[in-house]
Structures are given as C-alpha cells and as structure tokens.
Structure 1
C-alpha cells in the first residue's frame, strides 16, 4: 500500500484505494464519508440488482443525495455538515478510474 503525499488521504472503497487531496482539518470527515460510501456501495452490490462499479457508485450517490435533500426539507440540514466539497473531490477521484 502506498502512502499518500502532502495533504492527500488514502481511502478504500470497494477494495480499491483512492488518493484524495484533503486539508488536515477535514481528514476525519473525509474518512467517515469514505466509510459510509463503502458501506452503501457494498449493500448495493450485495443486493445483486446492480452490476458494475460505475452503476453501483451512481446508485449510492443518488441514494445519498436523496437522503440529503430529504433531510434539508425537514430542517435537519442545519445540523449536518456541508458535504458538497467532499462529494466533489470524491467525484473527481472516481472519474480518474473511468
């Protein structure tokens, strides 16, 4: 396993490693997000209804986005951190493997 350089963080999603640039103060949040995404993608893959990494990732992203929208409609968004920059970085990293 290679070590991330500088402010990069190494995350593991569906047994693949991704190096993501991240300021030190956001490292824990990024690792938590990667863990949650990994769990979601594993659940989707184990259901057997979706095949292929890209499709699994899209389904996980849609599910997480839907939950975020629902929570913002219920007023819970003020209590949750803004995940937009984190999701953007993850999208860019995943795009490198397409």
Structure 2
C-alpha cells in the first residue's frame, strides 16, 4: 500500500482522538469498527470495575475477541449440522432409488 492509496482517519475512543492511516476504500469499515470499540469501552467504563484507558481497551478487545470466537464456533456448528442433514437426504434418496428396482449403476 503506497501513501497515495491511503488516507489519515481520525477516530475517538473515550473522548481521546487517535489518527490512523488506512486504505482509502477501508475508511467506512475503520469508522464502524471504532464505533463498536468505543461503545464496548464505554460500557466497561460505566461498570466502574476497570480503570484506565489502556485496561479498558484491553478488556474491550478481549470481549470482542471472545464474541468473535463464539460466533465462529456457532457458524461451524451450523455448517456441520447442515452437512449432516444434506448427507442424510442424499442417503435417503439413494436408498429410495435402490428400492425402486433400478439396477443400472451407470452414470
């Protein structure tokens, strides 16, 4: 990525400004990510259990990473369930085809 392809984007996390270089076509994603992170950080700060910007940021990052891992596992479980279901449908169709008396195995 050359400097011509990037731009500086400012974001605010707990009322503190940060500037980042990002690809010109990734600004919207960066801003959306910053909004989500800021929301998580505000929730943690409101709880009053974690003090300091760095500790709040780390806690928010850990919470988001945990949510991402749970989401991936859920997606994997869903795919496995759908594959088993499709496998069962294929088995049922093959069994029905074999029972119908078709002895021609040519494709």
Q: Could you tell me the TM-score, scaled by structure 1's length? A: 0.69
Residue aligned with 1:74, SS: helix
The CA distance in 2 between the partners of 1:17 and 1:50, in whole Å, is 20
Report runs of 4+ in structure 1 exceeding 6 Å deviation. Answer: none
Q: What is the Cα deviation at residue 75 of structure 1?
A: 1.2
What whole-Å deviation, never above 9, does each CA across 1:16-40 have from its counterpart, x for those lacking one? 1100111111100000000010110
2:46 match: secondary structure:
helix
Superposition RMSD in Å: 1.2
What is the CA-CA distance between 1:45 and the residue it aligns to?
0.3
Aligned partner of 1:21 in structure 2 is: 21
Note if 1:40 corresponds to 2:40.
yes
Q: Which residue of 2 aligns with 1:66?
A: 66
Residue 54 of structure 1 and its aligned partner are, at CA, apart by 0.9
Indicate the structure (1 or 2) with the bigger Cα radius of gyration: 2
Structure 2 stretches lacking a partner, 5+ long: 1-5, 77-107
RCO (CA 8 Å, sep 6+): is it higher in 1 or 2?
1
- Structure 2 counterpart of 1:95: none
Matched length: 71
TM-score, reference length from structure 2: 0.64
More helix by share: 2
Q: Indicate the SS of the match to 2:12.
A: strand
| CA distance in structure 1 between the aligned counterparts of 2:53 and 2:72, rounded to whole angstroms | 28
Alpha-carbon distance in 2 for matches of 1:7, 1:20: 8
